[in-house]
Amino acid sequence: MAEDVAVSEDTLIHSLTLLVNWSKVLLKEAKKDAEGSLEDFVPHKISTLFGLITAGADFYKSLGVKKLSEAEALWQKSYQHAGVREQVEELLQLETEWDSFLEDVDRGLQTTDRQLSGKQTVDRLSPDTELTDARSGKSVTLGQYLDHVAELEESQALLDARSVKVLVVSFGGLEGAKLWMEQTGCAYDMLLDPQRKIYRSFGLGSSYAKVMKFRCLLQYSGYGAVGIDFPDVPPRLMEDLYQMGGDFLLDGTGKVLLSHPSKNPHDRPNVDKILQAVMLGKL
pLDDT confidence band for 115 (50 / 70 / 90): very low
For residue 92, what pLDDT is reported?
Answer: 97
Assign a CATH topology to domain 130-206+238-281: Glutaredoxin (3.40.30)
> Measured at the alpha carbon of residue 30, what is the angle toward residues 25 and 36, in degrees to the nearest 5?
140
One-letter amino acid identity for 61?
A: K
Residue 261 backbone dihedrals phi, psi, to 5 degrees: -65, 130
Name the pLDDT band for 161 (thresholds 50, 70, 90): low
232 Cβ neighbours under 8 A, 6+ residues apart: 183
**Cα separations (Å) of 202 from 59, 114, 118, 269?**
38, 9, 11, 16
Please answer whether residues 215 and 169 qualify as being in contact, where contact means their C-beta atoms are separated by less than 8 angstroms.
no
Instruction: Tell me which residue of 42, 23, 21 sits closest to 33, measured CA to CA.
Output: 42
Ramachandran bin of 254, using left for φ above 0, alpha for ψ from -120 to 50, beta for the remaining angles: left
CA distances (Å), origin 244, targets 182, 240, 277: 23, 9, 22
The span from the CA of 208 to the CA of 184, in Å, is 24
Place 116 in a pLDDT band, splitting at 50, 70 and 90.
Answer: very low
> Please, which residues bridge with residue 206 across strands?
243
Measured CA to CA, the distance from residue 118 to residue 242 in angstroms comes to 19
pLDDT of residue 282: 60
Nearest-angstrom CA–CA distance, 213 and 218: 9
End-to-end alpha-carbon separation of the chain, Å? 43
Average pLDDT over residues 102-113: 82
Kindly report, residue by residue over 218-277, the tens digit of the pLDDT.
999 998 888 887 777 776 767 788 899 999 988 888 889 899 999 888 898 888 888 888
